[in-house]
Amino acid sequence: MAAAGEPIIEFRGIRRTYGSGEAEVRALDGVDLTIRRGEFVAIMGPSGSGKSTAMNIIGFLDRPTTGTYLFEGKDVSALNRDQRALIRRHYLGFVFQGFNLLARTSALENVELPLIYKGLGRAERSALAAEALAKVGLQGREHHDPSELSGGQQQRVAIARALAGDPVVILADEPTGNLDTTRSREIMELLVRLNREDGITIVMVTHEEDMAAHAGRLVTFIDGRVASDRAMPAREAAQ
Amino acid sequence: MIWETVRLALQAILRNALRSFLTVLGVVIGVAAVIAMVTIGQGSSDQVTASVESLGTNVLILRPGRAMMGPGVRDDAPEFRLADAEAMSTLSVVAAAAPVASSTLTAVYGNANATTLVTGTGASYLDVLNWPVVRGRSFADAEERSGAAVCLIGETVRQKLFGNTDPTGEAIRLKSVSCEVVGLLQAKGASTFGQDQDDTIIVPIRMLQRRVTGTTDVSSIRVALAPGVTTARGIREIEALMRERRRIGIGEDDDFSVTDMAEISSMLTGINNVLAGLLSAVAAVSLLVGGIGIMNIMLVSVTERTREIGIRLAVGAQARQVMMQFLIEAVVLSLIGGLIGILLGLALAYVAAQLMAIPFAPSLPVVLLAFIFSAFVGVVFGYFPARSAARLDPIEALRYQ
């Protein structure tokens, strides 16, 4: 494990193109970006700016066309599908705008999902999942189905799922996009707490300034490039 | 991990129990049909073997007329005579030769009557057929020679005329002849062709010829070969004797036929096997259709669960694991179908066996084969949907609405 403050995600001249020839679309056009352990980075940008593509590459769901991606200092640009699945399994946690919980499956079993693929036994899974649910303030709701939970609670289950696998980085893709202001603030406070207390690096895509204000750093994408990259004012001030 | 996957598969199947059941219906029907067919086929073939054995082993039947005559077709071949049977029983290859003539008559006892087949023959007939008298006695030589008015009755006739009382010593009336019942034959059950063999009365052949039919014709001769004599040799010697007795010149065809019971038995078994084969082929087609049904629903299920697959991929499932999940789901599904089919098929076969009065003969190898085959159907028809699930792109899958 690298020490706090070391680069954990490094993009060097990352390009991602779709199609070829005349129809070629450059979603990312030479991106250099370094994210250090323990950071809370917000990514903003208009639609089509490449922020989602960048998130997919950071999250090992996609691969750069050219350029180098260093993860914990190792070149991971050319990993195949299964190798990328292993990185997701052991290092990453995902939180989505639409929660993406399994329907008709209890909160506990949803949170256990990544642990199944980690190969943990039932008892251990169930204990870790319950712990993660307690951490997001959902103790007592372990056996509720997603349909019996509010939007804010569902997103907490999703965060618990991301947390259960003991990730190095949590990737949040518009985590408050489907929530009202109060629930949104609660979710953001939860993410901030995980970042501060557990030292989990968080990368979050958002299009709301208010949400980005919770982060320590704001990266803005325009036309497939990093347009601005600045530290945010102290978060205490934002609250 | 594998048990985990099986558990997951069961969960997914039970989550949509009705649809799962409809999905496997094809396999259920296919397996049930195969199991029922094979079990019923085995039962009736056991029945054939048993009833052919009850006709006596190493037994030949001689009939006048050329072999391969269709029903209703007659030629002018002369009937046999009693002397033919007597001559035949002097051959060293023959243990017993019984002349047979028969007539359908109504037997009357008090107020009861029974219309039945009356067979005129001798005590040797019972030896040839291995048919013991359970109460009373068989015919005495003197009774046979003189054509005395005595008879042996089968169990069915006894039930009709006497109920459960002892019939021996009673007199029944056959046409105008009063006839003393001297013995009761052991119950034999239905024959290969479904006739009730116990619905019969046996009288000395001379009695039938003189007092009932008024002829000296013998319609067939049943021959039991001596122990150790091969059927081929027996037939050869009997044919030679009969050709001489019936004055058939060299080069002329026989005007009588010799049928070997083993031949009839193997013919019937053959028919049985062909039928079972045909029905099994139909059942196999039904299994194939069942498999396609599973593939269909699994493909729909993959599409429906695209988002779930996306989530699983995002949290670190490898393509292989997603593939295994869907493959095992298909296998578990078709195994459940196979299991239901096996139980249903055995139940059907049991009911059919009761109705057809044949033995219920379930076969463990066939049941195991059906079970393995339904797993095989799951693998074959689950493979394509599972592969398409494993090939999904996680980004696309997560975006799927």
Q: Name the average pLDDT for chain B.
A: 85
Furthest C-alpha separation in chain B: 103
Task: Give B10 or A44, the one with higher predicted confidence.
Answer: A44
**Is B392 at the interface with chain A, CB within 8 A?**
no
Nearest CA to B44 out of B259, B194, B186 is that of B194
User: Does A146 touch chain B if contact means CB atoms closer than 8 Å?
Assistant: no
Query: What are the CA-CA distances from residue B270 to residues B44, B58, B193 (Å)?
Result: 12, 19, 15
pLDDT, residue B289, reads 83
Euclidean distance between CA atoms B98 and B100, whole angstroms: 6
**Distance in Å, alpha carbon of B9 to nearest chain A alpha carbon:** 13
SS3 A16: strand
State the pLDDT at residue B399: 86
Indicate the range of B58-62, B184-188, B273-277 predicted with least confidence.
Answer: B273-277
- Say yes or no: A100 contacts chain B, CB-CB below 8 A: yes
Asked if the Cβ–Cβ distance from A89 to B316 is below 8 Å, we say yes
Percent of chain B with pLDDT strictly greater than 70: 95
Buried b (16+ CB within 10 A) or exposed e, B350-381: bebbeeeebebbbeeebbeebbebbeebbebb
Q: What percentage of chain B carries pLDDT values higher than 90?
A: 20
3 state DSSP class of A2: coil
**pLDDT for B321-369, tens place per residue?**
999 988 998 899 889 999 999 999 999 999 998 988 888 888 888 889 8
Q: b/e string for A215-236 if b means 16 or more Cβ within 10 A?
A: bbbbbbbeebbbeeeeebeebe
Determine the average pLDDT of the residues in A120-127: 92
Q: Tell me what the mean pLDDT of segment B371-400 comes to.
A: 89
> Residue A200 and residue B218: Cα distance in Å, rounded?
107
Q: Which residue type sits at B20?
A: S
Span of A25-34, A83-92, B97-106, B260-269 with lowest mean pLDDT: B260-269
Least confident of A141-150, B267-276, B309-318: B267-276
Does position A218 have pLDDT exceeding 90, yes or no? yes
A88, pLDDT greater than 60: yes
ipTM field: 0.92
A143 or B40, which is more confident:
A143
pTM: 0.69
Per the CB < 8 A criterion, the answer to whether B371 and B335 are in contact is yes
**CA dist., res. B13 & res. B266, Å (int):** 48
State what percent of residues in chain A have pLDDT above 90: 82
Chain A residues in contact with B317 by the CB 8 A cut-off are 85, 89, 117
In order, the DSSP letters of B375-393 are HHHHHHHHHHHHHHHHT--
Both tokens assigned to B184: 């009761």
Output the pLDDT for position B70.
54
Task: Evaluate if residue A214 carries a pLDDT over 80.
Answer: yes
- The pLDDT of residue B205 is 92
Average pLDDT over residues B28-32: 88
Cβ atoms of B203 and B216 within 8 Å: the answer is no
Out of A85, A104, A161, closest to residue B313 by CB: A85
A227 contact partners, CB below 8 Å, separation of at least 6: A45, A220, A221
Q: How confident is the model at residue A123 (pLDDT cuts 50, 70, 90)?
A: very high
pLDDT digits (tens, 9 = 90+) for B137-174: 999 888 888 888 999 999 999 998 998 888 888 899 98
Q: What are the chain B neighbours of A85 within 8 Å (beta carbons)?
A: 313, 316-319
* Residue B55: pLDDT over 70: no
So what's the pLDDT on residue A86?
Answer: 95
- Answer with the residue of higher pLDDT: B326 or B58: B326
Task: Note whether A62 contacts B395, CB cutoff 8 Å.
Answer: yes
8 Å CB contact of B319 and A117: no
Least CB–CB distance from A88: residue in B316, B319, B321: B316
CB distance from A86 to chain B under 8 Å? yes
* Cβ–Cβ contact A222 with B under 8 A: no
Q: What pLDDT, on the 0 to 100 scale, is given for residue A113?
A: 93
Q: Which strand (E) or helix (H) includes residue B108?
A: strand B94-109
Is there a contact between B316 and A114 if contact means CB atoms under 8 Å apart?
yes
Residue A238 has pLDDT above 50, yes or no: no
DSSP for B218-232, written as a single string: B-EEEEEEPTT--HH
**pLDDT > 70: what percent of chain A?**
96
pLDDT value of position B26 = 83
Interchain proximity A117–B321, CB inside 8 Å: yes
- Residue A104 has its nearest CB partner, among B15, B310, B315, at B15
Q: How far is B21 from chain A (nearest CA, A)?
A: 19
**Predicted pLDDT at A234:** 57
In 3D space, the residue among A62, A41, A91 whose CA is nearest the CA of residue A206 turns out to be A41
In chain A, residues with a C-beta closer than 8 Å to the C-beta of B308 are 102
Burial A72-111 (b: 16+ CB within 10 A, else e): beeebbebeeeebbebbbebbbbbbbbbbbbeebbbbbbb
φ, ψ of residue A202 to 5 degrees: the values are: -125, 130
Q: What is the pLDDT of residue B153?
A: 92
Q: In this model, does residue B111 exceed pLDDT 90?
A: no
Please judge whether A88 and B311 are an interchain contact, meaning their C-beta atoms are less than 8 angstroms apart.
no
Residues of B in contact with A16 (CB under 8 A): none
Task: List the single residue in B316, B395, B398 with the smallest CB-CB distance to A100.
Answer: B398
Three-state DSSP class for residue B179:
strand
